[in-house]
Amino acid sequence: MQPYGAAAAPCALREANVFFRLLVAAQLMSLHAFAADELPKDLLLHCEDQMNAVMDVPGPQSRSAPFSLNLRLKDGSIADTQTGVVEGEECTQNNGEIKCEVTRQYLLPNSIIKRHSSVVINRSTRAVTLWVESWDYQGREASGTPTAHMRVLRTGLCRDNALF
């Protein structure tokens, strides 16, 4: 006859083994959830739908038109592949949304353009919102009263490189 403790030892060992496996499985599931919300390293998107623009030169002029563009998200930055214009930097992904923003200045022969843009892409619905605002200034500095001001909102859907 086995002592009471000896018979209980295999049962306790099995329970500890099951508990350990459940603990490891829970940790792996949380790692998967964390990895699923990581920013892709390289993603090519084709986006299209509607663009609305308002330009103040000196009075407001508005325009609506369809848009179609290819965006490439690579190494935390998103750019228009046709123009090379960076639409966002320091991109992050949180709760299934990729968000990027950038402000840059573009020097022209007699003026400078200050341009701010932001991109939001919902990974599950593929909805994109691209907001661009720019100010044109005479001379070599983005200061004083702008000679023109433009706001552009593009909203639509994207397909990724696996789909086009």
Residues 116, 146, single domain; the answer is yes
Query: Which tens digits make up the pLDDT trace of 83-125?
Result: 999 999 999 999 999 999 999 999 999 999 999 999 999 999 9
Residues 32, 48, single domain; the answer is no
Residues 121, 76, single domain; the answer is yes
Q: Residue 52's beta-bridge partner residues?
A: 64, 153
Q: What is the pLDDT of residue 3?
A: 54
Q: Residue 82's beta-bridge partner residues?
A: none
Amino acid (one-letter) located at 125: T
User: What percentage of residues in the chain have a pLDDT greater than 90?
Assistant: 68
Residues 23, 54, single domain; the answer is no
Helices (H) and strands (E) in the chain, counts: 1, 8
Q: Is residue 45 within 8 Å of 159, Cβ to Cβ? A: yes
Tell me the residue range of the domain where 20 lies: 1-36
Residues 56, 29, single domain; the answer is no
Residues 23, 48, single domain; the answer is no
Q: What is the pLDDT of residue 57?
A: 81
Residues 2, 50, single domain; the answer is no
Q: What is the mean pLDDT of residues 12-19?
A: 54
Better-predicted residue by pLDDT, 76 or 4: 76
Residues 49, 4, single domain; the answer is no
Q: What is the mean pLDDT of residues 7-29?
A: 50
Residues 20, 52, single domain; the answer is no
Q: What is the pLDDT of residue 62?
A: 95
Going by C-alpha positions, the residue among 159, 98, 101 that lies closest to residue 131 is: 101
Residues 46, 121, single domain; the answer is yes
What CA–CA distance (Å, rounded) separates 52 from 65? 7
Diameter over CA atoms, the chain: 100
Domains contained in the chain, number? 2
Q: What is the mean pLDDT of residues 48-70?
A: 93
Supply the pTM of this predicted model: 0.73
Please, what sign has the CA dihedral across residues 119, 122, 128, 129? negative
What CA–CA distance (Å, rounded) separates 66 from 9? 72
Average model confidence (pLDDT) for the chain? 83
Residues 69, 116, single domain; the answer is yes
Residues 67, 134, single domain; the answer is yes
In angstroms, the first-to-last Cα distance of the chain is 72
Better-predicted residue by pLDDT, 146 or 28: 146
Q: What is the pLDDT of residue 4?
A: 54
Instruction: Look up the CATH number of the domain holding residue 74.
Output: 2.40.160
